[in-house]
Amino acid sequence: MKAAYCIAASLLALVAGSAAAQEFTPKAKGQLIVNSRITSVAPDESGDILTAAGVDSGLDVKVSDDTIPSLGFTYFLTDHVAVEAILGTSKHEVRAVGGATDVRVHSTWVLPPVVSVQYHFNPKGRVSPYVGAGLNAMIFHSKKDYNGFKVKLDDGTGYALQAGVDVALKGRWSLNADIKKVYFDTNAKINGGALKSDVTLDPLVVSVGVGYRF
């Protein structure tokens, strides 16, 4: 979460510095905005680790945050309505924690593409906020197990809510800040099902970047 706050603070500084820009290209139907961003992915995870018989082991799942580069592609269907797709992959460490136990069991890269429909307020203005909602997929890849554990995470789909703002700079350039709350659950099987967990990940995805309007 600390990385997310740093990203938000960086954007505020950039917005303040953009006030001197003179001419800009407003948002419009048929326009494509490509945003290059720095993104913090911070899971808000929860999940008890159970035995095969459903007995609580006393351990919980803990998943690490990550900060990554990402790309966003926003196409305007009308002046106000747009569709966005994001690309990026983050790496997360999975630990089993509880009492005196804190052990690394797994690491995985996650490809979490999100496609959302957005409504943009004030598309002709320099400062144009937006909200959105959409679907996401969670695809786990390049996985590695640790300390004698064998972990299987199920891929799946979820949904996302979004809010953000574009601040036009000179010409076709703009600044962008974006926050997504992604809702996603997965099933984890450990050591062939000897242990299991229904894990709620629900990451907060906070981004700041620079966009170009085609």
Q: How far is CA 92 from CA 20, 163, 192, in A?
A: 40, 24, 21
* DSSP line for 87-144: E--EEEEEEEEETTEEEEEEEEEEE--EEEEEEESSTTSSEEEEEEEEEEEEEEEEEE
Strand partners, 39: 68, 207
Strand partners, 179: 163, 206
What is the C-alpha to C-alpha distance for residues 181 and 4, in angstroms, rounded to an integer?
Answer: 13
Class of domain 2-45+58-183+201-213: mainly beta
Confidence category of residue 11, pLDDT binned at 50, 70, 90: low
User: pLDDT per residue over 59-109, tens digit each?
Assistant: 888 899 999 999 999 999 999 999 999 999 999 999 988 888 889 999 999
> Could you tell me the pTM of the whole model?
0.84
- pLDDT in the model for residue 192: 85
* DSSP line for 30-59: T-EEEEEEEEEEE---B-EEEETTS-EEEE
Lowest mean pLDDT among 5-14, 46-55, 121-130: 5-14
Half-sphere exposure of 98 (CA within 13 A, CB side): 12
Q: Which residues contact 52 (CB under 8 A, 6 or more apart)?
A: 193, 194, 195, 196
Cβ atoms of 85 and 72 closer than 8 Å = yes
